[in-house]
Amino acid sequence: MTKQFKVIVEKHPDGYVAYPLGLKGIVVGEGNTYEEALADVKSAIRFHTETFGQDVLEDLRLAILHDNLS
């Protein structure tokens, strides 16, 4: 089963930056175009999850519950 992530892509004056939601740690992609940034972050997500395993997947339900209790 493939895990899906929401990815935020931001346009900056010098290019694009992309990062996923729902992963522990820092995972960022960048590129001169939207497509390059998206491809780069997909590669970074793959590397991050293969290197660190399922422990990097956040339980978003717990994160939302924690935020609501704060």
Q: Dump pLDDT digits (tens) for 9-28.
A: 999 999 999 999 888 888 89
Q: How many domains does the structure of the chain reveal?
A: 1
Whether 32 maps to a domain, the answer reads yes
**The pTM is what?**
0.74
Indicate left, alpha or beta for 57 from its phi (over 0: left) and psi (-120 to 50: alpha). beta
Whether 19 maps to a domain, the answer reads yes
Helix (H, G, I), strand (E, B) or coil at 52: helix
Q: What is the pLDDT of residues 36-64, one digit of tens each?
A: 999 999 999 888 888 888 777 765 444 44
pLDDT value for 65:
41
Interatomic CA distance for residues 31 and 37, integer angstroms:
4
Instruction: Summarize the confidence of residues 25-36 as an average pLDDT.
Output: 94
Helix (H, G, I), strand (E, B) or coil at 48: helix
Whether 1 maps to a domain, the answer reads no
